[in-house]
Amino acid sequence: MNQLEQLKQFTTVVADTGDFQSIKAYTPRDATTNPSLILKAVQKDEYKPLLQKAVRDNPNASTGDIIDRLLIAFGKEILDVIPGRVSTEIDARLSFDVEGNIAKGRELIALYEQAGIPRERVLIKIASTWEGIRAAEVLEKEGIRCNMTLLFSLAQAIACAEAGAQLISPFVGRIYDWYKKSTAIDYQGAEDPGVQSVKRIYNYYRKFGYKTEVMGASFRNTSQILELAGCDLLTISPDLLQKLADDSAPVARKLSADNLPAAGIIKLSVDEKTFRFMLNEDAMATEKLAEGIRAFCADSGKLKQMITALR
């Protein structure tokens, strides 16, 4: 078996792309999208008709509402080629707005259900701010499953699990980027800070019985992916999926609930004050969270410009 096939024995593989044509080639169970991936997709000729249709069918809608309908259109197409769930992201401008996130999560699920897609097949992606986590807590109680994104720290992970979030997406590659830039060290294998962060979260969840799924995300190379074999899920870009499919070297399971560290995992209680202090003390997580929100806002702005040009 190639490495992708071996990995699927230990971990649920998720496609990290809005390009549903490429998803077919790798047969993942789930798929994730975000504003940057959708922006990248609609610039391709084969996906421009989806954008044009969203604009044409909603002549009186705001640009924000048209983006929502575009996200749903991509989600529907993706769900036609995968057996599992698609993740659809809430506008990053709502990252510090509890009620705004709740309202938008309900709205996106309603749009999916109007299109005949049951809510069980959708994960609503919300930034892992304190406000985003509080919104997820409300949505989960309504049966709206949430994927907590832009997650860079154990504090965020604990708060998400205690809120009952369905899934978290710790960003391996962006953590690696920060440490590589700040230390000038090109971390490899198990020494990679992004890999270590996900392992720490996974082990914490398993030790204390949290049901929230851990999905490593934002990979820079296949080494990071293989070091996390055994994680609940891994969301992987098409280029790295292809590299795994082209390699037949052995893949060993690295994470397992049956093989947790004997010591060093301490239970933490994370209320709002503790969350904000722990996040503030983590320069990497603070900077990457803010940077990620700004980047998603910028790409949503570019989508709005494309929509305005078509009206």
pLDDT of 263: 84
Point out the least confidently predicted range of 75-84, 155-164, 259-268.
Answer: 259-268
Closest CA to 104 of 129, 75, 72, 80: 72
Share of the chain above pLDDT 90, in %: 96
Q: Would you place residue 262 in the very low, low, confident or very high pLDDT band (cuts 50, 70, 90)?
A: confident
Residue whose structure tokens are 């933490």: 268
Told to judge if 125 belongs to the known catalytic residues of this protein, a careful annotator would answer: yes
Q: Are 158 and 270 within 8 A, CB to CB? A: yes
Highest mean pLDDT among 15-19, 38-42, 202-206: 202-206
CA gap 150, 144 in Å, rounded? 19
CA gap 275, 246 in Å, rounded? 42
pLDDT of 264: 86
Reduced to 3 states (helix: H, G, I; strand: E, B; else coil), residue 56 is helix
CA gap 158, 82 in Å, rounded? 30
pLDDT of 279: 97
pLDDT of 20: 87
CA gap 110, 266 in Å, rounded? 40
> Is a pLDDT exceeding 90 seen at residue 65?
yes
Q: Would you place residue 306 in the very low, low, confident or very high pLDDT band (cuts 50, 70, 90)?
A: very high
Closest CA to 128 of 290, 294, 299, 237: 290
What number is the average pLDDT over the span 236-255?
97
What number is the average pLDDT over the span 294-307?
95
CA gap 165, 128 in Å, rounded? 10
Angle between the N-to-C axes of helices 283-310 and 35-42, in degrees from 0 to 180, rounded to the nearest 10: 40
Q: What is the CATH number of domain 3-310?
A: 3.20.20.70
Q: How many CA atoms lie within 13 A of 74 on its CB side?
A: 32
pLDDT of 278: 97
Q: Are 54 and 294 within 8 A, CB to CB? A: no
pLDDT of 293: 98
What number is the average pLDDT over the span 240-258?
97
Q: Are 168 and 218 within 8 A, CB to CB? A: no
Which of 48, 76, 104, 125 is flagged as catalytic? 125
Q: Would you place residue 67 in the very low, low, confident or very high pLDDT band (cuts 50, 70, 90)?
A: very high
What number is the average pLDDT over the span 164-185?
98
Reduced to 3 states (helix: H, G, I; strand: E, B; else coil), residue 311 is coil
What number is the average pLDDT over the span 32-36?
91
One-letter amino acid for residue 90 of the chain: I
CA gap 270, 286 in Å, rounded? 16
- Average pLDDT in the chain: 96
Reduced to 3 states (helix: H, G, I; strand: E, B; else coil), residue 167 is strand
Other CB atoms within a 10 A radius of the CB of residue 302 amount to 14
Reduced to 3 states (helix: H, G, I; strand: E, B; else coil), residue 185 is coil
Q: Is 225 left (phi over 0), alpha (psi -120 to 50) or beta?
A: alpha
Q: Are 106 and 88 within 8 A, CB to CB? A: no
Q: Would you place residue 21 in the very low, low, confident or very high pLDDT band (cuts 50, 70, 90)?
A: confident
pLDDT of 51: 95
CA gap 284, 159 in Å, rounded? 18
Closest CA to 226 of 1, 15, 6, 26: 6
One-letter amino acid for residue 114 of the chain: Q
One-letter amino acid for residue 302 of the chain: K
> Is a pLDDT exceeding 90 seen at residue 179?
yes
Other CB atoms within a 10 A radius of the CB of residue 301 amount to 13
